Amino acid sequence: MPELPEVETVRRGLEPAMVGARFTEVVLNRPNLRFPFPARFAARVKGREVTALSRRAKYLVAELSSGEALIMHLGMSGRFDVHLPDGRHVSPGDFYLEGAQGQSKHDHVRFDLSNGARVVYNDARRFGFMDLVPSADLATCRHFAGMGIEPLGNELSGETIARLFWGKRTPLKAALLDQRLIAGLGNIYVCEALHRARLHPEAPAGTLADVAGRPTAKAKRLATVIRDVLTEAVAAGGSTLRDYVHTDGSAGAFQHAFRVYDREGLACTAKGCRGVVRRLVQSGRSTFFCETCQPG
């Protein structure tokens, strides 16, 4: 699930364990995740220091002292378990527990660090992947070339949304999920943002711009609520789904703030709205929305 807030939560959890430390051991338990690991993966990582850990959209980027960057994507079910030298164990942003915290069946990569921390990548569905690219080529590498704007960055505005969506007849839901336009939103936060902006998920994306490509009030509203919902979710430590059991108080809590996602049949929570949350399927994925307060 990990969408931007969850990935940012993971980044913040990994940062103290990784940045400034050197990899003393790197072990792959299989040759691939969704894609094969790059050639000599372990050898290229081992012995390097992590000089920075950043995030681009839903990707984590660890800058290595070798001049390469380790790119990591969590797919749908990826997580990192961090074992600290004092015996503590945390799974930052542990959004996919399914009652299996500590479950090691799908441990695919083990990173041991010079500070005594052990970081283990676990991914039941193996939709995640890792890659190594020269840091100098990050902007143009296949993962990031053509990627859209960062929704928590300065670029997001009504003007930008209008320019990106201008003339598009594709549904708003699909346009917001298109990582080439805005990068980092996923199914949950798109549903939540559309609800907050009172926009119908099937409305054509182009309705957020006038004939000249200037933003309508809807575009400005959408830009504002995208920033709001992501900021709130990051502050809450992201969302934790499935059978989350609170253990250390550090994992995500934003799922309690969902207004429409996974709430089919429940009353709309918008102030004064008497509508009911509906579910529809768009490009094969569930959309949750209130047809009463999201007219278009």
For position 127 contacting DNA by CB under 7 A, the verdict is: yes
Give the footprint of DNA on residues 66-85 (CB under 7 A): 73, 75-77
Say which of 11, 48, 58, 259 is annotated catalytic: 58
Q: Is 271 a catalytic residue?
A: no
Amino acid, res. 245: V
125 is in an annotated binding site: yes
In contact, 285 and 187? CB cutoff 8 Å: yes
Q: How far is the CB of 156 from DNA (least distance, A)?
A: 17
The neighbour count for residue 218, using CB atoms within 10 Å, is 21
Q: What is the dihedral of CA 244, 247, 250, 255, to 10 degrees?
A: 20
Select from 109, 187, 215, 221 the one that contacts DNA (CB under 7 A): 187
Does 126 engage in binding with DNA (CB under 7 A)? Answer: yes
Interface with DNA, residue 243, by CB under 7 A: yes
Binding residue (CB under 7 A) for DNA from 92, 148, 151, 186: 186
Sign of CA dihedral 171, 174, 176, 178: negative
Instruction: Kindly tell me which residue out of 89, 106, 163, 227 binds DNA, with binding defined by CB under 7 A.
Output: 106
288, HSE (Cβ side, Cα atoms, 13 Å): 22
CB of 76 to DNA, least distance (A): 4
Interface residue with DNA among 19, 28, 52, 124 (CB under 7 A) is: 124
Which amino acid is located at 123 in the chain?
D
If one counts every other C-beta atom within 10 angstroms of the C-beta of residue 5, the result is: 29
* Residue 220 marked in a binding site: no
- Catalytic status, residue 3: yes
- Using the minimum distance from each CB to DNA, give the nearer residue, 12 or 143: 143
* Spatial separation of the C-alpha atoms in residues 125 and 102, rounded to whole Å: 16
Strand ranges inside the chain, DSSP E: 23-28, 50-56, 59-64, 68-73, 78-83, 89-90, 107-113, 118-123, 129-134, 277-282, 285-290
Binding site for DNA (CB under 7 A): 1-3, 34, 57-58, 73, 75-77, 95-96, 98-100, 105-106, 124-127, 142-143, 168-171, 174, 177, 179, 185-188, 239-243, 255, 283-286
Q: Which residues define the annotated binding site for DNA?
A: 106, 125, 168
